[in-house]
Amino acid sequence: MKNIDTLLHARWVVPVDNKHRYLEHHCIAIHEEKIVDVLPSSDASKQYTANASREYPQHALIPGLINSHTHAAMSLFRGLADDLSLMDWLENHIWPAEAEHVNESFVQTGTELAIAEMIRSGTTCFNDMYFFPDVTARVANDIGMRANVGLILIDFPTVWANNSEEYIDKGLTVFDRYKGHDLIKTAFAPHAPYTVSDDPLKRVCTLSNELELSVHMHVHETAFEVSDAVKNTGERPITRLNNLGLLTPSLQAVHMTQLQDDEIELMAANGCHIVHCPESNMKLASGICPVDRLIKAGVNVSLGTDSSASNNDLDMFGEMRSTALLAKISTMDATALSAEQVLQMATINGAKALGISDISGSIEIGKFADIVAVNFDNIETLPIYDPVSHLVYCSSRDHVSDVWIAGKQLLTNRVLNTIDENKLKQECIRLSNGIR
């Protein structure tokens, strides 16, 4: 028999591998951070001995959820400005608060708070866009969280940089620091078409191609954004981005609530990825991304929460349920977006968008062991007929019991293993008292 690091036995394994909807009474074998086998529990003891063996008799083991759009440090602005339209929220509340309060210490604590919430919510990877990406990367690495860290770019000066050249140069320094890192990847993160001009976007396009870096950007978030762009430039933002060469398989276009049929075809033809943030879009009344039409057109669509300042949480279980229900009511079709499709959006589709589907996003041999245990032994989740349906329509983040990232257990029976919760709470309260 072969000795390995860990055996995880579960009532259900949901691999999201395009082969099995779910497996019953199966075991995941983990060695040196990666999945080495997925097999019936009855066979595991005949083939492996393990340094650690865990039993999850009422649980489903699923791939770690991938939050494809966050502004992690903005968790410290949770509830600061609610019930406002996007531009009012941004221009009159969030941007002034950022100018006054955001610094390295703010980003460190805010990112730690966000990661703590995400791990306890079953998220094992996040795709971020915010100031001080070097701090975000360091915090994620120290905790053991997988992250795609956005190299922020915006036309106007902020606490991070004074001009587009400085944003890009400082971002490239972060890219160099984490190139080839197992947990931390980077991406260019121009904020939006209305905050980044043509010349910086052209440079991003060139560097993206040269360095093979993805581009993470808010696009077509609101009807106002699109109409204002047409008034000022004569072009819809997608047309402008296409003319600049940015509509490629490297693009992660976030929100995309305003889409015409020809734009859907254009996104599909160019292999672009779209990140759907349903709860933030609903809360800000930004619009509804036509997810069902996009998927039928062949576009890869993943899920994100946006920030806790506009959501107001980082709960991917909530996003999955909202995604399924919003698709059905917006199309008046109860068959639009199955539970299985929505779970794919939260896992393997996110991995595809971030360019990490070869290492994460599903429970398959050779991939990193990014795994979440969801406890179905609850009043709210009984009885159980279909665990995949339950994950989307019944389960909540409170049912997440254990989390592994690259084979390391970061959450055990809902207790964080690499974060001092009490210290984090105290620091959050201290900082928030200065923001009020």
The confidence score (pLDDT) of residue 86 equals 83
Residue 175 shares a structural domain with residue 47: no
Least confident of 1-5, 366-370, 419-423: 1-5
Evaluate whether residue 308 is within a structural domain: yes
pLDDT of residue 89: 87
Can you give the pLDDT at residue 360?
Answer: 98
Residue 177 has a pLDDT of: 97
Predicted confidence band of residue 435 (pLDDT cuts 50, 70, 90): confident
Averaged pLDDT of the chain: 96
Residue 141, strand partner residues = none
Task: Provide, rounded to the nearest whole percent, the portion of the chain with pLDDT above 90.
Answer: 94
Indicate whether 427 belongs to any domain: no
Q: For residue 44, give the CATH number of its domain.
A: 2.30.40.10
Q: Is the pLDDT of residue 436 over 80?
A: no
Q: Same structural domain for residues 34 and 101?
A: no
What pLDDT is attached to residue 47? 94
In this prediction, residue 281 has a pLDDT band, given cuts at 50, 70 and 90, of very high
Q: 313 and 268 in one domain?
A: yes
Whether 92 and 172 share a structural domain: yes
Q: What is the 3-state secondary structure (H, E, C) of the chain?
A: CEEEEEEEEEEEECCCCCCCCCEEEEEEEEECCEEEEEEEHHHHHHHEEEEEEEEEEEEEEEECEEEEEECHHHHHHCCCCCCCCHHHHHHHHHHHHHHHHCCHHHHHHHHHHHHHHHHHCCEEEEEEEECCHHHHHHHHHHHCCEEEEEEEECCCCCCCCCCHHHHHHHHHHHHHHHCCCCCEEEEEEECCCCCCCHHHHHHHHHHHHHHCCCEEEEECCCHHHHHHHHHHHCCCHHHHHHHCCCCCCCEEEEECCCCCHHHHHHHHHCCCEEEECHHHHHHCCCCCCCHHHHHHCCCEEEECCCCCCCCCCCCHHHHHHHHHHHHHHHHCCCCCCCHHHHHHHHCHHHHHHHCCCCCCCCCCCCCECCEEEEECCCHHHCCCCCHHHHHHHCCCHHHEEEEEECCEEEEECCEECCCCHHHHHHHHHHHHHHHC
Q: How many domains does the chain have?
A: 2
For the cut 90, the answer to whether the pLDDT of residue 90 exceeds it is: no
Residue 184 confidence (pLDDT): 98
pLDDT at res. 201: 98
Q: Kindly report, residue by residue over 350-403, the tens digit of the pLDDT.
A: 999 999 999 999 999 999 999 999 999 999 999 999 999 999 999 999 999 999
Question: pTM value?
Answer: 0.97
Query: For residue 113, what pLDDT is reported?
Result: 98
Tens of pLDDT along 297-351?
A: 999 999 999 999 999 999 999 999 999 999 999 999 999 999 999 999 999 999 9
Work out the percent of the chain whose per-residue pLDDT is above 70: 100
290: which 2 tokens?
A: 């036509």
Q: Residue 193: which domain range?
A: 65-354
Quick check: is 425 in a domain? no
Report pLDDT digits (tens) over 142-183. Answer: 999 999 999 999 999 999 999 999 999 999 999 999 999 999
Q: Are residues 38 and 162 in the same domain?
A: no
Task: Give me the mean pLDDT over the 128-152 stretch.
Answer: 98
> For strand 2-13 and strand 371-375, is the pairing parallel, antiparallel, or unpaired?
unpaired
- Grade residue 421 by pLDDT with cuts at 50, 70 and 90: very high
CATH code, domain with 315: 3.20.20.140
Whether residue 366 sits in one domain with residue 333: no
